[in-house]
Copies of this chain bind each other. A is one copy, B any other.
Amino acid sequence: MKAIVQTEEKNTASLELQDVPTPTLKPGEVLVEVKAAGVNRADLLQTQGNYPVPPGASEILGLECAGVIADPGDTDRQKGEEVACLLTGGGYAEFVAVPEGQLMPIPEGFSFVEAASIVEVACTVWSNIGMLAGLKEGQTFLVHGGAGGIGTFAVQMGKAMGAKVAVTTGSPEKLATCQQLGADILINYREEDFAEVLKNKVDVILDIIGAKYLGQNVKALAKDGHMVTIGLQGGVKGELNLGLLLAKRGTISATALRGRDDADKARIVAATIEAIWPMLADGRITPHIDHTLPLADAAKALKALEDGTVTGKLVLEV
């Protein structure tokens, strides 16, 4: 089969479409013919050598895809079934092996491209904001990077859950996107300190910045607030004021989806289908795709992500 292969270590530009062996199936896996593969920041980090591949996972990039079951292996699935897939790797390819617990139905009315754009973000955001932080109706929910792939999803999900949604982002255009998606409080981080605007007001924070925002996030938390860090774009080590956190009875979590074991992923996939798929079916959450590219242009896609010019998601078409 054809797949994207990195020919030079730490060089994102060195991605090439090459011939590689088609994956062999382990027990409980199905072989999926990939029609579309979502592009994630973790893919970029992996090409830069900053996101180690979990033991046993495919070395090929790609954490989500949509396609058709080509071989159901030892499962009860049917050949030809259309599926969306949460992957531990391997999506930038013509075929990928997927544990059955990571298969999802294509959301009602979605194309392969749209489905491939939503899997990783839906599982990531729901597992953190719904399952872990337990966002509730009427609470205030702060989304950093509101116009990005994660942000555009999280803003809509927050509104669908009845939360008041605040966003930070870096340009008037991106703020306008967030407003169209329903965000209630719009903060341009180049002009305002979100911690001042939202001091003691935020019940749940979805953070992709890490160290750089740690102090401000704790300041923004309300009583019993919960911040969840899922990205470290602003560095790893920061000062934590435990006294302030204690006065607020606050909680800080930091998580990643990829390193979870199959059982944990299956649990998250099932919960995400139950909570999020109805929101996709009735349009409360719509996919936001910046543009699609052919699989061979994977390097170009990651370059665009790195340049910060992307609003919503990039998807590779196979």
A binding-site residues for B, Cβ under 8 Å = 132, 210-211, 214, 229-230, 232, 236-256, 259-260
Min Cβ gap A205→B in Å is 13
B229 and A254 contact, CB distance less than 8 A: no
Taking CB atoms, residues of chain B closer than 8 Å to A252 are 240, 245, 251-253
Q: Which residue in chain B gives the minimum CB-CB distance to A238?
A: B240
Pairs across A and B, CB under 8 Å, 28 listed = A210-B242, A211-B242, A214-B240, A229-B242, A229-B245, A232-B242, A232-B243, A236-B241, A236-B243, A236-B244, A237-B240, A237-B243, A238-B240, A238-B242, A240-B240, A240-B252, A242-B254, A245-B252, A245-B253, A246-B254, A246-B255, A246-B256, A247-B259, A249-B256, A249-B259, A251-B252, A252-B252, A252-B253
Instruction: Report which residue of A240, A247, A253 has the largest number of chain B beta carbons within 10 angstroms of its beta carbon.
Output: A240
In the bound assembly, the distance between CA atoms of A21 and B245 in angstroms comes to 36
Of all chain B residues, the one with the shortest Cβ separation from A209 is B242
> Is the pair B249, A251 in contact by a Cβ cutoff of 8 Å?
no
**Complex CA–CA separation, A250 to B260 (angstroms):** 13
Rounded to whole Å, the gap between the CB of A126 and the closest CB of chain B is 15
Q: A132-B251, A251-B253 are in contact. List 13 more A-B contacts (CB 8 A).
A: A229-B245, A229-B246, A232-B246, A236-B241, A237-B241, A237-B243, A238-B239, A239-B239, A242-B254, A246-B256, A247-B256, A248-B254, A249-B253
Return A96 CB to nearest CB of chain B, in Å.
24
CA distance A252 to B241 in the complex (A): 12
Q: Is there contact, CB below 8 Å, between B254 and A245?
A: yes
CB-nearest residue of chain B to A240:
B240
Which 6 A-B pairs rank lowest in CB-CB distance, beginning with the nearest? A236-B243, A246-B254, A240-B240, A245-B254, A251-B253, A249-B255
